[in-house]
Amino acid sequence: MKFGGTSLADMERIRHSARHIKREVDAGHQVAVVVSAMAGTTNQLVKWCEEASPMHDAREYDAVVSTGEQVSAGLLAIILQGMDISARSFSGWQVPIKTSDVHGAARIEDIDASDLNIRLNENQVCVVTGFQGISPNNRVTTLGRGGSDTSAVALAAAVKADRCDIYTDVDGVYTADPRIAPKAQRLERISFEEMLEMASLGAKVLQTRSVELAMAHGVRLAVRSSFADPDGPQSDSKNTNFGVPGTLVCDEDEIVEKQIVSGVTLVKAEAKITIRSVKDKPGVAAAVFGALAKEQIVVDMIVQNISDDGRQTDITFTVPDSEYDKAMAAVSNNEGRFEYESIKGAKGSAKISVIGVGMRSHAGVASSMFNALAEKGINIQLITTSEIKTSVLIEEEYAELAVRALHTYYGLDKKEG
């Protein structure tokens, strides 16, 4: 059972979440819990690091930002003990959760669950800090924002859990962020592949890496609400999800009613950079993106035009707004690795994506996306597609409007009444 920040925001919420744990313990289950920091805590810790120095050492950043989870794990253990439940908290290093040494974005490499397994067999609830682990050099690492989801799935795989339930402030995965599209509907089930695309294209309800891990290890993943009545009915409306109210993330062949489009997502704060008139010859793209890779800049969309004369072409790509200055500098001062006529760019775009496994077999999904945007007078700057998604880059100020328009256009809106 994993509880996110809003589910642990204050003592009352922690007590409420603890009642969900008590229900499962009373039902005779062995329970390992993964916690996030209390809502807002990690943001504050990150801010302090930035105030201390914008160029702070990543190892010290991890030493600071990992602390939020230790507070919530301890508090939850205390509250569980007060409910006569045997409980013990664990920091990442105590489990231990071994990770790579990429501070701020570490990957879990191994979890030694032998101690946890002994305790679980003694019916002790093990409350483990999410988001953190320990590097080969014995330093605390963190897994990237939203990383507690990944901790939970990795731990579920390590203890061979029957299920990994992600408790959050929504009661499942929706066809779009319900905060943006009030007519979004909860999905009873979603395939790993679609969830992977949705997460990486902006649906922050699950961290992308957690979905990847669940898919690789066959972890049964459910997204459910911690705000629901802990003693309320424990089955979904259609009672298909093994008694789990919420959304089940599962293999595609476990989904009977397949939709063509399952979801619409958005990512804001994307910057677009265009390099005009680079030579149209082998090695130029390698030089451009090599210069960016050298600075550890992750590039998202890439478009290279066909050249008119076979000699010159333009390359456009996107990076997060936060990487814009660094990316402009990397391609401008490229130490003569490639020549160009001019470089221009701007921050403030948004990427809107439409996702669905049905796209594999249905034509026209992309063209109807462009129609829907045209009807609203929204201009498309860039387009990329993959087998199960189409993404467009548009002006940021139209992002929410575009999500709602596409949601309606694909017939995903909740029926009235």
Residue 29 or 145 with smaller CB distance to ligand ADP: 145
Q: Out of ligand ADP, Mg ion, ligand ASP, none, which partner does residue 92 contact, by CB within 5 to 8 A per kind? A: none
132-134 β-sheet, strand order: 108-111, 97-99, 132-134, 140-142
Task: Say which residues have a Cβ less than 8 Å from residue 239's Cβ, sequence separation at least 6.
Answer: none
3-state helix, strand, coil in the chain (%, to 5): 35, 25, 40
Question: d(Cα 289, Cα 296) in Å, to the nearest integer?
Answer: 10
222 closest CA partner among 246, 255, 193, 196? 246
Our finding on whether 345 is near ligand ADP (CB under 6 A) is no
Task: Output the six-digit token pair for 396.
Answer: 């940021």
Q: DSSP letter for 323, please.
A: G
Which residues between 126 and 145 bind ligand ASP (CB under 6 A)? 130-131, 145
For residues 175 to 194, the per-residue mask of contacts with ligand ADP, x marking binding by CB under 6 A and - elsewhere, is -xx-x---------------
User: Nearest approach, Cβ of 5 to ligand ASP (angstroms)?
Assistant: 5
Which residues between 19 and 38 bind ligand ASP (CB under 6 A)? 36-37
> For ligand ASP, which residue of 68, 133, 246, 356 counts as binding (CB under 6 A)?
68
149 closest CA partner among 99, 234, 92, 223? 223
Q: Out of Mg ion, ligand ASP, ligand ADP, none, which partner does residue 6 contact, by CB within 5 to 8 A per kind? A: ligand ADP
Q: Out of ligand ASP, Mg ion, ligand ADP, none, which partner does residue 177 contact, by CB within 5 to 8 A per kind? A: ligand ADP
For residues 248 to 287, the per-residue mask of contacts with ligand ADP, x marking binding by CB under 6 A and - elsewhere, is ---------------x------------------------
Our finding on whether 42 is near ligand ADP (CB under 6 A) is no
User: Nearest approach, Cβ of 207 to Mg ion (angstroms)?
Assistant: 6
Which residues between 147 and 166 bind ligand ASP (CB under 6 A)? 147-149
Task: Say which residues have a Cβ less than 8 Å from residue 378's Cβ, sequence separation at least 6.
Answer: 394, 395, 398, 401, 402, 405
Residues in contact with ligand ASP, counted by CB under 6 A, come to a total of 13
Task: Output the six-digit token pair for 14.
Answer: 């922690």
Our finding on whether 146 is near Mg ion (CB under 5 A) is yes
Question: d(Cα 98, Cα 17) in Å, to the nearest integer?
Answer: 27
Our finding on whether 146 is near ligand ADP (CB under 6 A) is yes
The 3-state DSSP class for residue 368 equals helix
User: Nearest approach, Cβ of 142 to ligand ASP (angstroms)?
Assistant: 8
Task: Say which residues have a Cβ less than 8 Å from residue 323's Cβ, sequence separation at least 6.
Answer: 271, 297, 298
DSSP bridge partners of 362: none
96 closest CA partner among 132, 148, 69? 132
Question: d(Cα 4, Cα 166) in Å, to the nearest integer?
Answer: 8
Q: Out of ligand ASP, ligand ADP, Mg ion, none, which partner does residue 174 contact, by CB within 5 to 8 A per kind? A: ligand ADP
Question: d(Cα 155, Cα 152) in Å, to the nearest integer?
Answer: 5
Our finding on whether 202 is near ligand ASP (CB under 6 A) is no
Residue 89 or 150 with smaller CB distance to ligand ADP: 150
Our finding on whether 5 is near ligand ADP (CB under 6 A) is yes
Residue 169 or 280 with smaller CB distance to ligand ASP: 169
* Contact footprint for ligand ASP (CB under 6 A): 4-5, 36-37, 42, 68, 130-131, 145-149
* Contact footprint for ligand ADP (CB under 6 A): 4-7, 36, 146, 168-170, 173-174, 176-177, 179, 203-205, 263
* Contact footprint for Mg ion (CB under 5 A): 4, 146
